[in-house]
Amino acid sequence: MCSHSQNQKHYPELNYGSGAKWIKSLTQNRLSTFLGGHFENVNLSSVLYIHHVDDSNHVDLQVWSAPGLTKPLFREAMKQEFKPAKKGDSFGPSWTNHWWKVTLKIPTYWQQYERVQFEFDPGCEAMIFSTDGVPLQGITGGGGGDRRVEHIIPPQAVRDGHYSVVVESSCNGMFGVPWNGDTIAPPDLAMADLVVPNQDACMLLHIPSRTLLKLAAGHLMWDFTTLREIVDTVAGNTALQNKALVTANKIMNAFKSGDPENVKLMRGIAEDVFGKGWHAKGDKIYNEGPPKAQVVGISYCHIDTAWLWPYSVTQQKTARSWSTQIDLMERYPEHRFACSQAQQFKWLEEQYPTLFERIKKKVASGQFHLIGGSWVENDGNMPSGEALVRQFLYGQRYFESRFGKRCETAWLPDSFGLTAAYPQLIRDAGMKYFFTQKLSWYERNVFPHSTFNWVGIDGSQVLCHMTPVDTYTAQATVGDVNKGITNHKNLESNASALLVFGNGDGGGGALPKMLENLRRIRATTNEHRELPSVSMGSTVEEFFEDIEEDSKEGKTLPVWKGELYLEFHRGTYTSHGKCEILLRDVERVATLTSLLKPKGHSYVYPKRAIDECWEKVLLNQFLPGSAIGMVYDDADKLYAEVREVCTGLLEDAFSVLLPRSSSLLSKSTTETLVAFNATSFARHDVIKVPLSRDAARMKAQVVQTSADGKHGYALMHSVGNKVMSQPVGMYSVCMPASVFTNGTDHFVLRNANVQLTISEGRISSLIDVKLGRELIPKGNSGGLVIFEDRPNYWDAWDVEIHHLETSTPLSFSQVRVIAEGPLRAAVQTQIKYGGSTIDVTVQTSTYNGSVATMKGNSRSFFNFDAVVDWRERHKFLKFELPLNINNTYATYESQFGFVQRPTHKNTTVDAAKFEVCGHKFADLSEYGYGVALLSESKYGFSCEGNVLRISLLRAATAPDAEQDQGRHEFSWAVMPHVGSFLESDVPIAAFIYNSPLHVRTVPGQDAGHVAPSLPFWLEGSPNIFLETIKRGEDDFEPNASGTTIILRMYEAFGGHGSVKLYIGKNVPVKRAYVTNILEDTKGELGLVSTTGAHSTLKLEFRSFEVKTVKLVLETKKSDISGISSMTSSKRNSWVTVNEEL
């Protein structure tokens, strides 16, 4: 025998076996049977609990139900009388709140176990408090993937044998009451159990399922879950995918029903994929493996400030979600939670002060990260430019005042598109990074970038990341981590992705299973390379800083210029629209009054009242038009409060600035009309004046009287930098406005420069009289039109392109002349459609009374005032005008500028912009001429070829079953103009159209002694607008030492401009600075002062630049920088929470 044969390993000569070949797909399908389901009595489910008790000897429950829809806080609830309750009881109806006192008696022998927990499932959302009122964590009942019902009992309480908590449950789910027409049934108390989970068994597998309502989260469940996710995610025939499947199969084979101890063996098997001893390393697992991970995890909890639930429920959601995250931080040191929306912090500060203090400590320790810098995560299209400024101003100042720091990253993951004004405003708010995600909801055209430089209309840029995971509510699965790289669109520029994980929209945030899964994924990638590595423990800013460095300060990244248009949710531009004009006027009038008050008068700038109003307006800018009706009831209440307060503030200021003036409703018969011009533009206005029988002096000031003699119409003229308008007569050169009719179906409204014809109920002609140019193509007509409005899914959110195929033109009927000139000519019309009645008054005025602006060749506009009783369902009401004008794009106002969008459908990108957002105007122009639609409250526009439209009303039924139903009053105007858009006065006209005069009366003898001139005015380039005049924020800080004035200007036409800012001699300015929008100094300006004369500043603007100037006055701190007692008292409002009794 040869010696070498004896040294060889024995390989059997004969083989009668079948071999180890598997059918991979069957093995893979087998994994789904390991938990719950038909085999729950013999699979892993059978060993998940060691002990479980729910009888009254161990779990004592008492309950108090708050009356109606009230939301009492902890202290008030504890004063009430509680009654016995038991598991299985029902509580409701929807939106009600119920308080529970829970007393647990823990068996002595349970002290041997590592973990004892109380599981409470009310079938809805809830919050667990300590008995002294400290919020401990949130509860999410039910059977969804966001379920969290376990509360870990402190070890000392287990040793003591007893434990008590208080629970507040709210009868709504994570997403409110279902909006699909169903109503939520009163939830049952499904679980109030004291249990000892099998920690090892519970660490094997977790699959969200309605069969798992009694499962605790744990390691063995999570081991198996991660293995299954690897099998389902990683490409087949890779080493890792096959190894994960083999390992999971081995675990199932090793499982022995009824033998909890062999679970430790199964956990050892899982180490074949995760690595030996990986679990003992805990959060230190992230210190091993690749030095730089490709995917960076950050926990986040998106809470819609209102949506399928009212604001009051959001306040509860915030406390539940954030307390839960703090609880997780105690057990997972790597856990970092990013949080935005100053409003939600303020609610927490007012209603849950102990939790707020805990959050402050976590912010200081670096675990709780402040992001966003805004008051709420607001809509990115409809708020005005100044409102966006205030979002950052109020948000950043709040964060700085409470936490000693500002946010460094702007954060709007859920906005329905984003204005191109944002990059400039973000940079000016002290941030250079921006995170968003919503554009992943594309309908047709995939947005081409993940990480890029976003450049705004003025040229400013921010470093933007749009997570390739395509969600801000990732579940931290293997698939999520893998998608961060496989779906990344700029790997050639930067190969990093942000994984934003945690339950959201309705709150919740990260769950233990997510943090556990990420540890296992990291352990896997420390051993294998088929998956991208993931890291935890860093901040959003560190993620962006790495990109900035790797891309050489953005030089190697792609660039996207202009708006981020969302091809989705276009139907929200019309419903529930509001504006911020009144607050702008209040600030301007109050500032001027504090500066120019007559001698002997005192006035205190009402800073606190203004702040409260702004906060309410900013709060309502969270969602544009896609919430339930309860939200709009709340919003209407807030807007009513704002209107009431602002009206009072204006009256207070006018009573000082114009000491003997009164509102127009005064019954005095010897008064003279005056009006405050809240813009910086010269203007002509026609105003409506109530007339009494003996008001002889008032009648002498009007040019035209209504047929019934109850009203008159006066022509008011504002010139230069005068803040007051006064009545003037018609000039001799004026051609009176007039209306002609054949008595039946043909009406012509005309003045010296424009003419509009309504024939057979439609607008058949629009003529520039001076040029003799017809603006409506022959055979076409304009007017109101109805479209069928049945989106493919998202009812209140969307309008689909196919709605344009279903137009029904509406004809004006019952047309009658109501004013024949000479100052005002008008016809009254009515349309009956379905159950709705639409009354529209069409009017124009004499040449000097209705020219859009004081520009030399300005044309008059035709104004349409509508009063609508809207009773339709799934209909879309618009006004359209076909124009004899040809251009490939139309122009729409946006914040601090404009945006141009295609009128054609050359590409799918062009075709997708069939309904767009605009602010105060939409314009279609060609060389030499154009026509604009002016709007004072509607934001939806379109231009299809040569047909310009404004969207007026919709009628969705979900989630608000009564969307837009009822009475509406709104206006729009048709404004022809000479020259193309850039040569026109459209932006000025739209500004004036949205800024009505504040009309008052003064005694006749005071008519020549009204308020002084506006102390701030511009001379030079006409494309520079003075938008805002207000007092400086720092004037009202405790250590303030002086008085400052803030002036905000912007370039409106897209070109350079140079102006001189003149400052009246009665405003003693000692220094002037350029600041950012947060009013931090950027540089000092060269102030040219002459004793006894005006001071001047020379200012240069680039296209669309927003510039903020701070004027520091010579005056010392005085009464004008105080806060009046009238406006400083706490308002009894559900937004500003009163102190508990």
Largest CA distance in the chain: 139
**Rounded to whole angstroms, how far apart are CA atoms 634 and 776?**
43
Structure tokens at 625: 């038009």
> Do the Cβ atoms of 813 and 758 come closer than 8 Å?
no
Burial (0-12, 13-18, 19+ Cβ within 10 Å), 54: middle
The amino acid that residue 889 corresponds to is: Y
Q: Is residue 685 among the annotated active site residues? A: no
SS (H, E, C) 45-77: HHHCEEEEECCCCCEEEEEEECCCCCCCCHHHH
For residue 1007, which amino acid is it? A
Residues 146, 510: Cα–Cα separation, whole Å: 9
Contact 751/735 with Cβ under 8 angstroms?
A: yes
Distance from C-alpha of 357 to C-alpha of 359, rounded to nearest angstrom: 5
In angstroms, the CA 363 to CA 1120 distance is 36
Contact residues for 253 (Cβ-Cβ < 8 A; gap 6+): none
Cβ neighbours of residue 596 closer than 8 Å, sequence gap 6 or more:
657, 1011, 1012, 1015, 1066
Neighbours of 267 (CB within 10 A): 20
Joined together, the tokens standing for residue 623 give 């969602």
Q: Distance (Å, rounded) from C-alpha 140 to C-alpha 123? A: 8
Nearest residue to 122 via CA among 216, 191, 195, 53: 191
Closest CA to 564 of 745, 423, 716, 353: 423
Contacts of 638 (CB under 8 A, 6+ apart): 616, 617, 619, 620, 1133, 1135
How far is Cα 974 from Cα 345, in angstroms, rounded to an integer? Answer: 44
Phi, psi values for residue 53, rounded to 5° = -130, 145
Q: Are strands 125-129 and 162-170 parallel, antiparallel or unpaired?
A: antiparallel
Give the 3-state secondary structure of residue 573.
Answer: helix
Phi and psi at 302, nearest 5°, equal -75, 120
First to last CA, the chain: 101
Residue 676's Cβ-side half-sphere holds a number of Cα atoms within 13 Å equal to: 25
Instruction: Evaluate whether 1136 touches 1130 at the Cβ level (below 8 Å).
Output: yes
- Catalytic site residue from 121, 414, 789, 985: 414
DSSP state of 1005: G
Query: Omega of the bond prior to 67 within 30 degrees of 0, cis?
Result: no
Helix (H, G, I), strand (E, B) or coil at 986: helix
Q: Are 673 and 717 in contact (CB under 8 A)?
A: no
- Calpha distance 718→724 (Å, rounded): 7
Instruction: DSSP for 477-519, please give it.
Output: -HHHHHHHHHT-S-TTT---EEEEESB-BB--B--HHHHHHHH
Residue 651 structure tokens: 């009256």
Residue recorded with tokens 């070890």: 155
Radius of gyration of the chain (CA): 34
Which amino acids are annotated catalytic?
414
